[in-house]
Amino acid sequence: MLRMGVSSLFGDLDVDATPDAPLGPMTWYGIGGRADLLIRPRSVESLATLVKRCARTATPLRVLGSGANLLVADSGVDGIVVHLDQPAFREVRFNQDGEINAMRAMAGADLAKTLMESVRRGVGGLTHMAGIPASIGGAIRMNAGGKYGTIGEAVRSVTCITKAGEIVSYPAEELRFEYRSTNIPDPVIVAATFTMHEGDPIRLREEVKEIFAYKKTTQPLADSSAGCTFRNPFDPTTEKTVSAGKLIEEAGLKGEAIGGASVSERHANFIVTQPGTPTDDVLRLLDRIEAKVFETSGLELQREIVIWKRGESDASRIDPHADDE
């Protein structure tokens, strides 16, 4: 639990604070424990001060995005969880002078809603992100993407808060967007700008519909899951990336279940859960999958989903997104 006097970290800031806040319902799995303290800042300035104070006092700080790629342990998490769902962190702006060629979105903005608003305006640049549930900040942190491309391809700049509470911006040329990762060094992303272009709204909608149609036939969209569970590993013998879902299926694990957690019959890289499933069921199933895939293929799977546990914090991580293969 939080130490006495922790209110000194946020008591004078413009924030909403909820002690012992349930996190499970805020994730796509819908399971898991509670946060010692959930804070929803109302301004960038308050967030920057909070980040600086947490770093100075070694108070664990985690940033919750859309919860689409997150598993929270039943024991919950210590320290402070920040959720950027207030209006100041959900704003999206398009440049209005002449041809639209840029967009600025705050980190808490919903990726899907931002994409559909741009399509409605006849603005292209993010249609390849259709069907990926994420906040803007989370999508950038892990370079969300899939078959049709990644968000990094459209990024023009990213604004962050350092551990010292300073607000800094990085142009795209200074950033590396790699497979499910970026080189952003700071604990909190607060905003990003994107390179956009004007287009035909009807044609843009058709692009989005095409991607959704593909995902509907290949992914268990109606089930409780956190998207793809494992990263696609690199096979040194063929010098190619291999589909994690294919490896899991070839290991005979489709439908494999432990308690309320099971490998999806539709897409083997999705683990789905039943209401009330203990997170330990998911963790034990992850271990079983990793061991079986290594036994059958010789390849080690790396987990794509983010797992939060009490006593294990990494202030540089933000709960990201769910991606696809």
Residues with catalytic roles: 180, 228, 304
**What angle is formed at CA 139 by the lines to CA 132 and CA 155, rounded to 5 degrees?**
110
What DSSP state is assigned to residue 111?
Answer: H
State the Cα–Cα distance between residues 93 and 104, nearest whole angstrom: 5
Tokens 């080690």 locate to 300
Asked whether 124 and 118 are in contact (CB, 8 A), the reply is: yes
Tokens 């992303």 locate to 189
User: What 3-state DSSP class applies to 18?
Assistant: strand
Q: Where are the alpha helices (DSSP H) in the chain?
A: 44-57, 111-120, 136-141, 201-218, 244-250, 279-297
Pairing of strands 102-106, 123-124: unpaired
State the Cα–Cα distance between residues 13 and 42, nearest whole angstrom: 9
Q: Which residues of 189-223 are buried (b: 16+ CB within 10 A; e: fewer)?
A: bbbbbbebeebeeeebeebbeebeebbeeebebeb
